[in-house]
Structure 1
């Protein structure tokens, strides 16, 4: 049975062969491949034994390929170029080439500032993509693990599953949202200023399903309070705040300028702003995915734009 020259060949030797064909010089080949000249000599000897041909002979100017080497190089060059192109393209990303559905889960705290920004950016930069935004739910992590949802944006969750990667996108500054005619009139408040006013608590599934972060904070400080209303629906919370003296604990992500009749108050504790971070949540296998990296950069940009207002 004839020897199978392909499957018995160390393909690393082909790279050495092609560089020798291009350089016709052992020293230059070793510099390009970042190996020693003896290593190039050893590789060439293995190639000679494999193909039973001299491949290159020494001449005054360096190395001269044999007719077999020239024929071999001519035959394999298109395949090597194709392989190189495929590998290099895999590290290049052009959003204009994205033509599939992009499903992203957003927590309630980002729902008032990200959808319009994301849609406009994708419409411009990735016009063939189909953006699908869904509310973060208790099943979102499982959907990310299954690949049904590309990734999500939420507060950092305490997860036991090591398959979820959660890079931080932004630090948020705490703010209180109240109606324009609310009895609290000053532009920034301390927790004691909120005593007696009910909390309109925005539920972020998977993060504060069974508690109110603001309520826990006020309890620790022995400040009188009640939870007047809870909902995952931002529109429902805002409607209640418009019609009552309840306040919505939120952040500098809330685009108060888009909601006539509402005011944003900065909140500090002992003179320091209350800070929370928002994170992307993705499968660890996608941490270097070019599409997800591009989208997280885009989302970070959108969050920073709103947060700076």
Structure 2
């Protein structure tokens, strides 16, 4: 009769296995589980014997999972996550009791509308929390995996398997220009912007090597000249305020704060160009009440800004 791998296993060992798979480091796993490293080693030996597989092998800087361990983790994680959620749902999450520093990495094009509004919203519900917003950079995914940053907000990116992604909102493209810019229409096409240079905002990891507006114009046979690039939205705003350059952005741009600027809907082949914004965080926090709450707050702020811009356009 074949060995029953479920009934013959101490389920506490599965918890150790999942933490080891997430951390890939004995010291970090022991710290997270509040046990000694020898206890982690003993648990790993029992797991290896039980599954007849090495599970994790030592490599420079930590551990590497075997193919069997990767397959096992993918198979059991959804079930244990569901069990954890069921057991923890009785414990009410109260933002008022939070006393911690929350570090969030935000892409430049989102930061322009998120910073002040998010701070005020979080302070209303969690007055003892300190908010630290930093610019998204090429190392942000590593920083999330190392718990240096709690979560990040950015466009669609390729992300490591240790990272979880959650959809927040869908954006539509806008062209931002100075109020007395020669082009003055409710919506514009690539042909309307012919002859005008671009001031582009760099989002590290997303458009390092290309400028979407320039690509759209070139596909329609229009010469595109990127005159200015920056990771700082305010720098691009300063440039377009005093020139005929235009800044590709989205319906997230807080146009109400810039009476000297105008926002025009950008159409591609007669349709609005849409793209999504996501939050990114470590897999181990997928069911964390703090993360769930933060996602709700960030989504609420982004949607409020989009709705506000829509109201301004209709008026």
Q: How does 1:7-18 map to 2 (within 5 A)?
A: none
What residue in structure 1 maps to residue 272 of structure 2?
Answer: 273
Alpha-carbon deviation of 1:270? Answer: 2.6
What residue in structure 2 maps to residue 185 of structure 1?
Answer: 184
What residue in structure 1 maps to residue 305 of structure 2?
Answer: 306
> Residue 295 and residue 192 in structure 1: after superposition, are their counterparts in 2 closer, same or farther (change >3 A)?
same
Structure 2 SS opposite 1:225: coil
Where do 5+ consecutive residues of structure 2 fail to align?
1-9, 11-86, 309-315
Q: Distance in 2 between matches of 1:123 and 1:133?
A: 14
Q: Distance in 1 between matches of 2:132 and 2:184?
A: 40
**TM superposition score normalised by structure 1:** 0.70
1:156/1:166 contact within 8 Å kept: no
| Count of aligned pairs | 224
What residue in structure 2 maps to residue 145 of structure 1?
Answer: 145
Q: Distance in 2 between matches of 1:88 and 1:152?
A: 25
Structure 1 SS opposite 2:228: strand
Q: Distance in 2 between matches of 1:91 and 1:227?
A: 53
- RMSD of aligned C-alpha atoms? 1.7
Q: Does 1:172 align with 2:181?
A: no
**Displacement over 2 Å in runs of 4+:** 87-92
What residue in structure 1 maps to residue 245 of structure 2?
Answer: 246
Larger Rg: 1
Tell me whether 145-154 or 280-289 shows the greater mean CA deviation: 280-289
2:122/2:297 contact within 8 Å kept: no
Q: Distance in 2 between matches of 1:97 and 1:266?
A: 43
Alpha-carbon deviation of 1:128? Answer: 1.0
Alpha-carbon deviation of 1:92? Answer: 2.2
Tell me whether 229-238 or 217-226 shows the greater mean CA deviation: 217-226
> Residue 186 and residue 88 in structure 1: after superposition, are their counterparts in 2 closer, same or farther (change >3 A)?
closer
Q: Distance in 2 between matches of 1:209 and 1:187?
A: 30
What residue in structure 1 maps to residue 101 of structure 2?
Answer: 101
Q: Does 1:231 align with 2:221?
A: no
Q: Distance in 1 between matches of 2:90 and 2:147?
A: 20
What residue in structure 2 maps to residue 126 of structure 1?
Answer: 126
What residue in structure 2 maps to residue 204 of structure 1?
Answer: 203
Alignment deviations for residues 130-160 of structure 1 (CA, whole Å, 9 cap, x no partner): 111111111111100100000010001023x
Q: Distance in 2 between matches of 1:238 and 1:288?
A: 39
Structure 2 SS opposite 1:298: helix
Alignment deviations for residues 194-234 of structure 1 (CA, whole Å, 9 cap, x no partner): 11111100000111112211112222221121001000011
> Residue 93 and residue 198 in structure 1: after superposition, are their counterparts in 2 closer, same or farther (change >3 A)?
same
